[in-house]
Amino acid sequence: MFSKIINHEELSKILSDSCKENNIEANISNYLINKYQKAYLVLKTDKYYNSLSFKNDEKTPPSTDCLILVKCNKQNCYDLYLIELKNINKPKRFEVENIKDKFKTVIDDFMESRFKDIFNNEKYCKFNCYFITNPYGFKGTQEEYDKKIKTKGLKLDSFNSMKPLVFNKKVTMIKSILPNPIIESC
């Protein structure tokens, strides 16, 4: 799959070494970076949608910032991450429906329609959707953050009650993740 993406006229233009925006990022583990053969790819899906020309009355569809693929050699499959990054300090600076729509656009339009010949013909170990942000200025572990979101019924908890996202028979929910997690090898 990596060679198909690298050699694809449109997809090669949105390849990146990192997934970051406004001091928020999904870090790639040193193991993946230093591996002899390329073990991960980052596609800037928002760059792709922003580059398209739409008719006057059509808006650019909302899309996640990045799609990260990690090659899992032992299981002969890929880990797939869709990632939205938001450097905000108040929860009113994001709309839950807009965030959901970003993930749906990349799943339904990007992977299952426009580039289905690349993405639908592969085996996936894991499928993750991460909304990386800290609108509450939380200081602590991811586990403590998850507990706070759930027990206090914060805005981010609404992702837990939405319909699961599905791609290639893999099911996931949008997970609220504290800034700068590390994408590990599989």
How confident is the model over 132-178, as pLDDT tens digits? 999 989 999 999 999 988 888 778 889 988 999 999 999 999 999 99
User: Is 56 a residue whose pLDDT tops 70?
Assistant: no
Report residue 57's pLDDT band, with 50, 70 and 90 as the boundaries: low
Q: What is the mean pLDDT of residues 98-126?
A: 96
User: Is 67 a residue whose pLDDT tops 90?
Assistant: yes
Distances in Å between the Cα of 87 and the Cα atoms of 75, 92, 100, 149 are: 35, 12, 17, 18
Comparing 16-20, 35-39, 97-101, the range with the smallest average pLDDT is 35-39
| 114: number of Cβ within 10 Å | 15
| β-bridge pairing 77-85 and 19-21 | unpaired
| 18: number of Cβ within 10 Å | 14
Alpha helices in 52-164 (DSSP H): 96-104, 116-119, 142-152
**82 forms bridges with which residues in the sheet?**
67, 129
pLDDT of residue 95: 93
User: Is 87 a residue whose pLDDT tops 80?
Assistant: yes
**Helix and strand counts by DSSP (H, E) for the chain:** 6, 11
Q: What is the mean pLDDT of residues 45-53?
A: 91
